[in-house]
Chains A and B, each alone.
Chain A
Amino acid sequence: MAWRAYPAIQHVIAAGIVAGTTVAFLVVSGYDLSASLSALWRGAFGSIDAVLSSTLVRAIPLVMLGIGVAVAFRVGVFNVGGDGQFLVGAAAGTWIALLDLQIPAVLTVCLALCAGAFAGGLWGLLPAALRLRWGVFEVLSTLMLNFIAANFVSYLVRGPLQEPTGIYPQSPTVSTQLPVIIPGTRLHAGFIIALLCALTAWVWISFHASGFRTRLTGANPTAASSAGLINTGRLTLGVFIASAALCGAAGAIEVLGVTFALYENLSPGYGFTAVVVALLAGLHPLGVIVCAILLAALDAGAAAMQRDAGVPSVTAWIVQAFVVLAILATAALTRRQRLARFVSR
């Protein structure tokens, strides 16, 4: 029930799942548990700088993409193309930021973010149209478009957008940047934008008529169109594009707030981690914030674990994969309970 306050208990369960799988992995692989975990903690929450510059900064794209994925899931669209949409958004944002526009920096930043959202939305329009017109399954089309986007970015950073010396496959450094909101850290204004996006998404899906239509369509598209006379096709198209636009904006934010240039491997699989975030949050926009921070902390901590305790940082990925399995298993169980309850009467 999306309109209700997000149940706090689910956070505890989510954290439990993540912590449990991490510990289980470390024990099974025979690493020094206490050393590894203390490194993990230090890296993620050990100091103010770890929290603000490492964990929260990493959480920003995860919140944005997580919201995008969660909203799409709610209307019944499995957008696993977050990565591709993120990359084209980053490319468009970089392009705008590099133009010499002769306008105030704040306007350039806004324009770059809008360009990112627009490019991402455009990248989502294609699979959305394919699905609505010909029933092409969006899991396949969005996934394939990820590769196209990645190669497109490779082309850009070796061609039109390459830095002037022509040595490195990356764009020049952008001079218009998102401001840092806490001096002395790397936490930039993208954090506020991400929080606002999550809050807006929550209010919209819980209290607005079109958000309600989205939930109805996701729950039962046939009934939504027959009993509710909802134009499910148009709604799905709109939500799909909005989801992709959020992912695109996240790409622009990442460039203007963290990397300041377009790289080939700008996204270490944010689009997939976002799926984990959305599922872990039970597709609840406010839950996405918490779960994004949780997985960002795992990621930040994993880096420290590799440095200090010699545990490979891919641990974070393995844990994420286990988290998905755990969620799917619980979902299957609850579905069975529901079924039992239904058939019993």
Chain B
Amino acid sequence: MSPTQLHGASLGDRIYRFTTTAFALSIPLLLVLIGVEVLVAAWPALTAFKLSFLTSSRWDAVEGVFGAAPAIYGTLVSSALALAIATPLAVGVAIFLSEFAPPWLRTPVAFLIDLLAAIPSVVYGLWGIFVLVPALREYVMPFLADRLHLANTPFFSGPAYGPSMLAAGLILAIMVLPYISAVTREVLMAVPRAQREAALALGATRWEMIWGAVLPYASSGIVGGIILGLGRALGETMAVTMVIGNRHEIAASLFAPGYTMASLIANEFSEATNDLHLSALMAVGAVLLLVTVVVNAIARWLVWRVQRQAKS
């Protein structure tokens, strides 16, 4: 693979080779180390509660009984809510940017969307506490419950405190939107010209071309982008901790406060006094680690498949 080397590898080459290899291998090593350390920390709680850790809703630090079901439920619901809100917007923006936007508008809008990803989580949380949550309590929740008469459905019932699953879902939606739209934009641009021209040649309008020829071609890549966004939403900590209300309870209503796995760890870590409580928090971390690794692996695989298709 290397060009002819007259005198074999020199000392400098050997040092260089050794260093870069060691740095490259430090990545798998780091990942294994993270897995092992988190598992070791979680072990006491996992062996004490076994499967009931995942299924029980009882989280009692005084009695020393821990079940993470409400946090797991909260993580899934808030992330699903975030994706349901963010996906249409993100895909819409990506289509707008790659197909319709005049060139002079493309760069600034794309830049603004990218900026959303640059805002630190804790700043979103600050905004969430002082703007989003009060707005939800004063306007949005009463509007949904009374004006739209959704109060009779289990999903929008109960008192409107403000800090809630709904607030968490909304703030997560804003946070994952740039990730989904960036991947979607990239995938849309990877769709070959011939695909578009063929649709247009058959008499399709521009919109029909996008709907019938471009989106189906890019679909698995877009799904990859959505799952990548899911990976972000599942592990997002600070902003969610600040607006979700932090309560151990599975409630159907989106108005009710809840917990996510990440916010549970962040919120109770400094208060945890005994080893079992700490270990239970680490066990929540282990579950989160497992879920995000699986989700991310699926996402990468989907995006990679589309890109490989586009190349061949």
Report if A and B associate in a common complex.
no
